[in-house]
Structure 1
Amino acid sequence: MNKYAPPKFSIKLLHPRYWLVWFSFGVLALFVNLMPYFILLKAGHGLGKLGMVLAKSRVKVARRNLELAFPEKSAEELDPLVEENIKNTGLAFMEMGMTWFWPTWRLKRHIRTVNLQQAIDFENEGKGVLLCHPHTLNLEISARAFAVLGYPGSGVYRPNNNPAYDLVQYWGRTHNGNKLIDRKNLKEMIRTLNRGERLFYLGDHDYGRNKSVFVPFFGVPDACTTTGANLLFKATNCAMIPVTGFRYEKGQYELNLADSIHEQFPKDDVEAGAILMNQAYEKVILRQVDQWMWVHKRYKTMQDENQPRGVRYK
């Protein structure tokens, strides 16, 4: 049996222990399809406000991340940014529902593009593209937008521990043309790029010390940063394009492709490659700072192994 086989429905998933999962996704699918967008926007922001009360630890993480990333900003400047970020974190739940359950025609009305042609040109050349997308809160919409526009790609994912959730998640992300690759299946990632296809690469989080270097990311000079981009680029000679899908006025999600960076990417210097990648991520995150995933402990792994993990958040 293929250890990377996609999840499949079985009669076991009808066990009562999974009923809450099925019910929750059923309600979400019904809600996002029946409600107009402005109601979804208000509902999502309402969930975020509720989260500020019920998940105060996450609010503290977001604030601490922003303090570390932008040490020049005062508390008065950070307060509204933290609040807006948490509101957008709540909205991400609605955006996930829109991505997974909206019909194509409805989602397409909310998408606009900037500089998409370069990805099309690389496809015509048969050159694989590493889509360097940061962990924005509306990442799900960005991924489906490529498929909606006729340019599907592959994402890297970690199977969920709950098999019912995992099945819905897998279906939601793939039923419109995109593919998913298990995060441990490096060979398939390389094959995907060598076939001239697109692969989403999310290299802006802290994935731990293994295969990482410590380089600047925003205001932190020694942020633990994965070197996966070097490995994939060296193995495939792919193109590399920073991408975002931020939300702007009137519910428009702008699929914005920055200029490609592979021509200046130092494939034989992992530290320099990580620096360049972080700089690219910084540049695109600054377009809409409040829509990045600040609730993740981005700076938890310390360069000094004697320093406990997460000490910056104590």
Structure 2
Amino acid sequence: MSLSARLGIGFMRTLAKLPLPVVRGVGAVLGRVLHTVAVPRRHVVDINLALCFPERSPAERRRIARETFVFVAQSWLDRSWLWHAPEAVVAARLRVVGAPAEIDEIAHGSAPMILFAPHFYGLDAAATALTMHTARPSTTIYTTQRDPLVDAWIREGRQRFGNVITLNRSEGIKPIVAGLRRSGLLYLLPDMDFGRDQSVFVPFYGVPAATIPSLSRFARLGKAKVVPVVSRLTKTGYDIEVLSAWQNFPSDDAVADTALMNARLQGYIDAMPSQYYWVHRRFKTRPEGEPPVY
């Protein structure tokens, strides 16, 4: 357990006591600094934006890149109050909007449901908001952190409200499907590149992207409906938009389903491109024979 981890968690506990404008102001400054000094990560963002938005001017893409670093920093510091502020403070900063039937079913329903939560910077805020308003068992999948203290802190934060089960990727699909079949919720973030062995290549903004087909497979195995959840960072906290359940999903073709997922995700991103997780090397794994892009 490193001293830096203890100091970092202590800083977040202190930050949780400050007014939101102060937290966001610190995040804005930190984000601008990161955009300047984190050159390798800025390169990843620049490549992603060039591949996905070739029709936009270089100046427009630079603006999105600068904004995305600010949102990275602000959303990370927001975990201070999400995980440590009094419940009333957290609840006042999170607004769930969208499809009434799906919102009610998340809170009170019993049918298996997958919450498709793409990698917008408010993904932890969305998980917190939804688990605050339901007693249904909710499963989320996570990657173990190297520092045990940080790993425990993150898991405890994500389990703070509701009935949340955190599963490591190494535990396989059985406990995930079992949780769904017990009338549970699965908070799923499948829009990432986890390597060739776990992925299929489908278009993402017209570029072949290694994408895990777990949304289709879990929906089929768990007999679950898929409800998208899109989180947006706002001046007063977060808006968590629950969209209508997808119809005729999944099909018998996991690859086609995954391509459809990416196509619909593009529509969500186009509405707020600066808030998507462009710092991830989304095109790290390339089709056979294709050169690396980073």
Counterpart position of 2:77: 94
C-alpha distance in 2, partners of 1:285/1:108?
A: 26
Contact 1:112 1:254 in 2 (8 A): yes
Picking from 224, 227, 234, the partner of 1:238 is 224
Amino acid at match of 1:22: R
Residues 121 and 169 of structure 1: CA distance in aligned 2, closer, same or farther (over 3 Å): closer
Contact 2:220 2:250 in 1 (8 A): no
Counterpart position of 1:12: none
Instruction: State yes or no: 1:169 paired with 2:154.
Output: yes
CA deviation vs aligned residue, 1:17-56 (integer Å, no higher than 9, x gap): 52321222012111221x1111111101111111122211
C-alpha distance in 2, partners of 1:214/1:189?
A: 24
C-alpha distance in 1, partners of 2:237/2:72?
A: 17
Picking from 140, 149, 153, the partner of 1:155 is 140
* Residues 103-252 of structure 1 aligned to structure 2 (within 5 Å): 103-114=86-97, 115-121=99-105, 124-150=108-134, 153-177=138-162, 178-185=164-171, 186-220=173-207, 222-248=208-234, 250-252=235-237
For residue 190 of structure 1, give the secondary structure of its aligned residue in structure 2: helix
Per the normalisation by structure 2, the TM-score is 0.93
* Residues 276-291 of structure 1 aligned to structure 2 (within 5 Å): 276-291=260-275
Residues 43 and 123 of structure 1: CA distance in aligned 2, closer, same or farther (over 3 Å): closer
For residue 8 of structure 2, give the secondary structure of its aligned residue in structure 1: helix
Contact 1:104 1:148 in 2 (8 A): no
1:280 Cα deviation (Å)?
Answer: 2.4
Equivalenced residue count is 290
1:119 Cα deviation (Å)?
Answer: 4.2
Counterpart position of 1:10: none
Aligned-pair Cα RMSD in Å: 1.7
Residues 167 and 75 of structure 1: CA distance in aligned 2, closer, same or farther (over 3 Å): same
C-alpha distance in 2, partners of 1:260/1:193?
A: 16
Contact 1:233 1:267 in 2 (8 A): no
C-alpha distance in 1, partners of 2:237/2:3?
A: 34
Counterpart position of 1:20: 4
CA deviation vs aligned residue, 1:105-144 (integer Å, no higher than 9, x gap): 0011112222253143366552111111111112111111
Per the normalisation by structure 1, the TM-score is 0.87
Contact 2:106 2:134 in 1 (8 A): no
Instruction: State yes or no: 1:57 paired with 2:40.
Output: yes
Counterpart position of 1:255: 240
Amino acid at match of 2:203: P
Contact 2:94 2:239 in 1 (8 A): yes
Contact 1:134 1:285 in 2 (8 A): no
Amino acid at match of 1:166: D
Contact 1:119 1:129 in 2 (8 A): no
Of the structure 1 ranges 271-280 and 115-124, higher mean CA displacement relative to structure 2 is found in: 115-124
Instruction: State yes or no: 1:84 paired with 2:67.
Output: yes
Contact 1:123 1:196 in 2 (8 A): no
C-alpha distance in 2, partners of 1:123/1:101?
A: 23
Instruction: State yes or no: 1:48 paired with 2:31.
Output: yes
